Chain A
Amino acid sequence: MTALVNTDPDSASASQAEINAEIAAIETGYLRTGVEETQPRLDYAPYRSSLLRHPTKDLHHADPETIELWAPCFGERDVHRLESDLTIQHNGEPIGERIIVTGRIIDGDGRPVRRQLVEIWQANAGGRYVHKRDQHPAPLDPNFTGVGRCLTDDDGNYRFTTIKPGPYPWKNHHNAWRPAHIHFSLFGTDFTQRMITQMYFPGDPLFGLDPIYQSITDQKARDRLVAAYDHDVTTHEWATGYRWDIVLTGSNRTHFEAEDHDQ
């Protein structure tokens, strides 16, 4: 039985307890099926904005063809080296906890995703985005925009210097708060690997209350979005370090060594 829910995503009418009950009911149902899920559900009512925006028909199987077996190319022309440091984009130092976030991007067969574009965006230390529609009454930081880009290196590694983002309120339900996160936009070697996701920080007390994070019904899959604190990434008297590795879906293209010389 599906309960009637208010479909206005900004109504904020449900309580956290009601959202928690919906999340728990879906998780119980998932555990009962015994079929492992690894991606978020598109149809996930506790996230109210999904109600009218998810396809109701099954995704149609497609064997990738020609254009779908390739991905767009990016290079030094597109991304300046300094764009990976979000703390040096203005005249002064941003407020907050300086962090390094680094990791490796590989495909489902373990091949590094080389020389490919990674884009990130995030709230500042107070939980506020520069975006004009963000009305959260936390201060903007004149020294922090919260947008970064880089290209992976020849072994698939990316690295950003930034500020640890704060959690922030949103209007999904009454007293709704998002766990702190950094948005990641990723490309692979194939069009089919394109993805956008969110990286979270270990031990966030808001995980259990957040319908976006919980739309991934499987705990092991949810854990894949949580970075690990890594003291080897932390640098002396400068920044704490987090490591987060990313796996894209398998490539469907036949890979040749010669491609390594293609730039």
Chain B
Amino acid sequence: MSTLLTATPGQTIGPFYGYALPFERGNELVPPQTPGAIQFHGMVTDGHGKPVPDVMLEIWQADADGNVAQSAGSLRRDGWTFTGWGRVSTDDEGHFRFSTVEPGPTESGKAPFIAVTVFGRGLLNRLFTRAYVPGEELDDDALLAGLPEDRRATLIAERDEQGLRFDIRLQGDRETVFLRYPGQ
């Protein structure tokens, strides 16, 4: 891929996005009472292991059958259309929670994952990561195969009674693997 133009630099989201970006039911890709709905949830911590209360997370994922949604309507949800995208801020204890479905494989045999973007005060640019759904397809995933065992584990969500748990450690012990895409 040859990129002709240099990208505009990013900057931190800062502390004051709270009245501007989060929106009603931003974290409900499907309403929580929907059959098959799961909670995708976790905690964001800093280099001292302390919860980070002002991080904003966005997720983007396929539906349960592995289809990529191309429907508008995320910002004013009708409670029916699956748009595949959601946004939420961590609470005062650093927790976040989305109501969604477990994504299916977009191609047969591919390991399904939820694409995650992290924004926060103190983060000078956004961070990308993947939250893989646990399953046997993980063994054949090229990205996971290229990581040492301990780092690999940071990208795999854990199944619990609510759905999928995925903690994000910005720095330090078991620091989450963050991604750089080509041209970045």
Q: Footprint of B on A, CB under 8 Å?
A: 9, 38-42, 44, 47, 49-57, 59-68, 70-79, 106, 108-110, 117, 119-121, 123, 129-134, 145-147, 183, 185, 191-192, 194-198, 212-213, 215-216, 221-222, 224-225, 246-250, 252, 262
**B12 (CB) vs chain A CBs: closest residue:** A212
Say whether A73 contacts B20, CB under 8 Å.
Answer: no
Can you list 13 A-B contacts with CB-CB less than 8 angstroms, sorted by A residue number?
A42-B125, A59-B178, A72-B74, A72-B83, A73-B71, A77-B76, A110-B5, A131-B18, A132-B18, A196-B11, A196-B119, A212-B124, A249-B183
Say whether B74 contacts A53, CB under 8 Å.
Answer: no
B 1-58 contacts with A by CB, 8 A: 1, 3-21, 46-48, 50, 52, 58
Seed contacts A108-B4, A247-B8; 5 additional CB < 8 Å A-B pairs: A50-B124, A121-B19, A132-B19, A196-B13, A252-B1
Min Cβ gap A180→B in Å is 13
Question: Which residues of chain B are near A108, meaning CB under 8 Å?
Answer: 3-7, 183
Interface contact tally, CB-CB below 8 A: 256
Known: A44-B124, A50-B124, A247-B5. A57 touches B179 (CB 8 A): no
Question: Which residues of chain B are near A213, meaning CB under 8 Å?
Answer: 11
Say whether B73 contacts A109, CB under 8 Å.
Answer: no
Say whether B171 contacts A72, CB under 8 Å.
Answer: no
Give the docked Cα–Cα distance between A51 and B128 (Å).
19
Min Cβ gap B147→A in Å is 7
Question: Which residues of chain B are near A68, meaning CB under 8 Å?
Answer: 115, 181
Give the docked Cα–Cα distance between A127 and B106 (Å).
47
Say whether A73 contacts B11, CB under 8 Å.
Answer: no
Min Cβ gap B116→A in Å is 10
Question: Which residues of chain A are near B5, meaning CB under 8 Å?
Answer: 106, 108-110, 247
- Interface assignment of B107: CB less than 8 Å from any CB of chain A: yes
Which secondary structure dominates where chain A touches chain B? loop
Say whether A225 contacts B3, CB under 8 Å.
Answer: no
Say whether B21 contacts A119, CB under 8 Å.
Answer: yes
Known: A40-B11, A79-B75, A248-B8. A73 touches B83 (CB 8 A): yes
Question: Which residues of chain A are near B130, meaning CB under 8 Å?
Answer: 62
Give the docked Cα–Cα distance between A246 and B10 (Å).
11
Say whether B115 contacts A191, CB under 8 Å.
Answer: yes
**B107 (CB) vs chain A CBs: closest residue:** A66
Question: Which residues of chain B are near A73, meaning CB under 8 Å?
Answer: 69-72, 83
Question: Which residues of chain B are near A39, meaning CB under 8 Å?
Answer: 7, 9-10, 125, 184
Say whether B122 contacts A47, CB under 8 Å.
Answer: yes
Question: Which residues of chain A are near B85, meaning CB under 8 Å?
Answer: 72
Say whether B181 contacts A64, CB under 8 Å.
Answer: yes
**B58 (CB) vs chain A CBs: closest residue:** A194
Give the docked Cα–Cα distance between A176 and B179 (Å).
32
Min Cβ gap B97→A in Å is 19
Known: A66-B68, A249-B3. A38 touches B9 (CB 8 A): yes
- Interface assignment of B138: CB less than 8 Å from any CB of chain A: no
Give the docked Cα–Cα distance between A185 and B120 (Å).
13
Give the docked Cα–Cα distance between A196 and B103 (Å).
26
Say whether A75 contacts B10, CB under 8 Å.
Answer: no
Known: A56-B172, A70-B70. A224 touches B8 (CB 8 A): yes
- Binary interface profile of B, 169-183, with partner A (CB < 8 Å = 1, else 0)? 011100111111111
Question: Which residues of chain B are near A51, meaning CB under 8 Å?
Answer: 47, 122
Give the docked Cα–Cα distance between A207 and B61 (Å).
39
Q: CB within 8 A of A67: which of B106, B179, B182?
A: B106
**B83 (CB) vs chain A CBs: closest residue:** A72
Q: CB within 8 A of A183: which of B14, B47, B124?
A: B14
Question: Which residues of chain B are near A52, meaning CB under 8 Å?
Answer: 46-48, 50, 122, 170-171
Min Cβ gap A77→B in Å is 5
**B78 (CB) vs chain A CBs: closest residue:** A77
Question: Which residues of chain A are near B106, meaning CB under 8 Å?
Answer: 65-67
